[in-house]
Amino acid sequence: MFSIPYRLRLCVNNVRKTKTDKVDTFVIAKTLMLQDSLTFITLKDLDYIELKELGRFRQKTVKQRTRLKIQLTFYMDQVFPELQYFFKSGVHQNSAYTLLKEAPTPNDIASMHMTHLTHLLQTASHGHFGKDTARELRVLAQKSVGIHDSSLSIQITQTIEQIELLDKQLFHTELEMANLVTCLHSVIMTIPGIGSTNGGMIFGEIGDIHRFSTPGKLLAFAGLDPSVYQSGNFQAKKTRMSKRGSRVLRYALVNAAHNVVKNNATFKAYYDAKRAEGRTHYNALGHCAGKLVRGI
């Protein structure tokens, strides 16, 4: 008989589902052999992990809300296309949502009693809209070219409720992120323009900053480092950012850089200098984000 090598026997055994004490003992022993490479997790590391999970959950929730807002705009273009031009801030505001949940079609708004419509708008807008606005809105609804479709009415009200639910989830998520960021006492929060949400996303993705020996490595981790384009003896001098790192960290850093440029004269001058070189808005913000990373 031929003897099967140990590695081959191990591969054959892994083909089948195995859950025995012998297999578990082997895995535990193998893990203990690698104990020197294990790292201990501190309470601060746990805060970073929580911020990372919350930050990524927030990004997914924002994307869901954006898709729903686009869908709601599509519905309103069919039912009441004039409404988005009636409100200066568009359809996506509390006053419009409150109105559409009760009266999703122009016919519903046109048939609403003037006193009730005025009170509805006045309450939702905290006194910003009054009787004159209600009168103009009812006239606009009477002349609307939109279609009357009961199925679209249901979709409008349901979509608004979903958007409001996501708004509540985002509020509680950002509140928890703010609590965690406050406990970290980091100097990054002293930079004008960086709030608890952006700061929390940066903390969560970076973790312990001492893991990165140089700012360049941190930039590469965020995907903000310049990509390399080389062919033979040719090497491009100007290239785009690689965008190969953490997408969430890259978004948070660029967004933070955008806010810092608006609140800090030094970063504003640096941004203007990059724009004067012919760089695009986002390219200049990417350089500002790199400058921000070097100052962390």
Q: Which of 54, 77, 244 is nearest to 155 (CA)?
A: 77
pLDDT in tens, 89-133: 899 999 999 999 999 999 999 999 999 999 999 999 999 999 999
Q: Please give the span between the terminal C-alpha atoms of the chain, in angstroms, as a whole number.
A: 66
Chain centre to alpha carbon of residue 22: 46
Q: Report yes or no: 261 and 274 within 8 Å, Cβ to Cβ.
A: no
Would you state the pLDDT for residue 286?
85
- Gap between the Cα atoms of 54 and 228, Å rounded: 33
pLDDT in tens, 47-66: 899 999 999 999 999 999 99
- Gap between the Cα atoms of 139 and 38, Å rounded: 71
Share of the chain above pLDDT 90, in %: 52
Helix pair angle (150-184, 43-79), 10° resolution: 160
- Gap between the Cα atoms of 238 and 210, Å rounded: 30
For residue 48, give every residue at least 6 positions away whose Cβ sits within 8 Å of its Cβ, in sequence order, or none: 203, 204, 206, 207, 208
Q: Report yes or no: 289 and 256 within 8 Å, Cβ to Cβ.
A: yes
What is the mean pLDDT of the segment spanning 203-224?
85
Q: Which of 267, 263, 264 is nearest to 284 (CA)?
A: 267
49-82 residues labelled b (16+ CB within 10 A) or e (exposed) = ebbbebbbebeebeebbeebbeebeebbeebbee
Confidence class of residue 166 from pLDDT cuts 50, 70 and 90?
Answer: very high
- Gap between the Cα atoms of 150 and 157, Å rounded: 11
- Gap between the Cα atoms of 147 and 107, Å rounded: 10
- Gap between the Cα atoms of 256 and 209, Å rounded: 17
pLDDT beyond 70 at 17: no
Cα diameter, the chain: 98
Name the strand (E) or helix (H) holding 161.
helix 150-184
Q: Report yes or no: 216 and 94 within 8 Å, Cβ to Cβ.
A: no
Confidence class of residue 230 from pLDDT cuts 50, 70 and 90?
Answer: low
What phi and psi, each to the nearest 5 degrees, are found at residue 241?
Answer: -70, 150
Would you state the pLDDT for residue 6?
44
Report the DSSP beta bridge partners of residue 72.
none
Chain centre to alpha carbon of residue 188: 20
Reported pTM = 0.78
Would you state the pLDDT for residue 8?
41
Q: Which of 227, 173, 218, 220 is nearest to 62 (CA)?
A: 173
Q: Which residue has the tokens 């409404």?
A: 83
Would you state the pLDDT for residue 151?
94
pLDDT beyond 60 at 72: yes
Helix (H, G, I), strand (E, B) or coil at 231: strand
pLDDT in tens, 231-277: 667 666 666 666 778 889 999 999 999 999 998 899 999 999 989 98
Q: Which of 183, 203, 256 is nearest to 54 (CA)?
A: 203
Would you state the pLDDT for residue 15?
47
Q: Which residue has the tokens 């046109």?
A: 110
